[in-house]
Amino acid sequence: MDRLDLSIRPGICFGLLGPNGAGKTTTLEMIEGILPPDGGEILFHGKPVDRDFRERMGIQFQSTSLPELLRVSEVLALFSSFYRRRAPLAEVRTLCDLDELWDKDASQLSGGQRQRLLLALALVNDPEIVFLDEPTTGLDPQARRRFWELVRLIRRRGKTVVLTTHYMEEAYELCDEIAIMDHGRIIAQNSPDQLLKEHFRGLSIRLPKDGPAGTSLGPIPGCEIFERPESYELLTEQPEATMRALLDRSIPLQGIQIRTRNLEDLFLKLTGKGFEA
């Protein structure tokens, strides 16, 4: 870490974003007490974190080994027994949509079902703050969106959720606030919409390379042009003028894509790297 200074408001879903190697997992593990910090201090409600903090947090790791030959209900009962403070298992069962899985062998769960169980394990002690480390990696789109609804339910119950993810749509949909991290430093922090408003105006226009634009595009005033593997991307703050310039050059608009700038654009602008870099 490079003099990391990070503050998380209670009761929000907070996203910590960054490419591989940026320091996200190390940061979470220091907050969770798994790794000791090299310096500085970590505070919870203004007080240094201690053993009591571990009773008041829940963690869903990227991967967790589950006991073999146990049903879902038995796994939850086992993990619940590790804590002094416990949430009613019937409440956790309903919250994480485990009714149909309650008597099923935990080792036989699908990817999405397993993630719902792991989320339930992070909630058995009725934590105030829940850490979710890339919880939907590898899930199909339907399972991922189902998981999003569970996170929203947890958020509405007043709990603080700290989320790391490589899915930018996920961060935008779930997070009240995000921090973008690179080389152990926070380089931007605010709500997703506010960060996009601060850094971008205008639109992105994509033209396929396999059309006439591939050989006759040329410079366009007031427009940044980037070459992608299969297209040209035009970043413009004057989309109407850019479109007129394309039409004046008789460039066909078939296959054109026009969109507003998104979190991935923001990350590329701030770090020069993709999320999987």
Task: Please report which confidence band the pLDDT of residue 277 belongs to, taking 50, 70 and 90 as the band edges.
Answer: very low
Beta partners for 236? 203, 223
Position 249 pLDDT exceeds 60: yes
Over residues 130-147, the mean pLDDT reads 92
Instruction: List pLDDT tens digits, range 211-220.
Output: 655 555 778 8
- Contact indicator for 160, 14 with CB cutoff of 8 Å: yes
Q: Are strands 185-190 and 203-208 parallel, antiparallel or unpaired?
A: unpaired
The confidence band for 93, taking pLDDT boundaries of 50, 70 and 90, is very high
Band of residue 2 on the pLDDT scale cut at 50, 70, 90: low
pLDDT for 237: 86
- What class does CATH assign to 201-260? alpha beta
Pick the CATH number of 13-191 from 3.40.50.620, 3.50.50.60, 3.40.50.300, 2.40.40.20: 3.40.50.300
Q: Does residue 275 carry a pLDDT above 50?
A: no
To the nearest whole percent, how much of the chain has pLDDT over 90? 50
Q: Tell me the pLDDT tens digit for each residue of 60-92.
A: 987 788 888 899 999 999 999 999 999 999 999
As annotated, the residues of the chain forming the CATH 3.40.50.300 domain(s) are: 13-191
pLDDT at position 233: 86
pLDDT band at 276 (very low <50, low <70, confident <90, very high): very low
73-81: long-range contacts, CB 8 A cutoff, minimum separation 24: 73/102, 73/103, 74/106, 75/106, 75/117, 75/121, 76/117, 76/120, 76/121, 76/124, 79/121, 79/124, 80/124, 80/125
Residues of the chain within CATH 3.30.70 domain(s) are 201-260
Contact call for residues 89 and 124 (beta carbons, < 8 A): yes
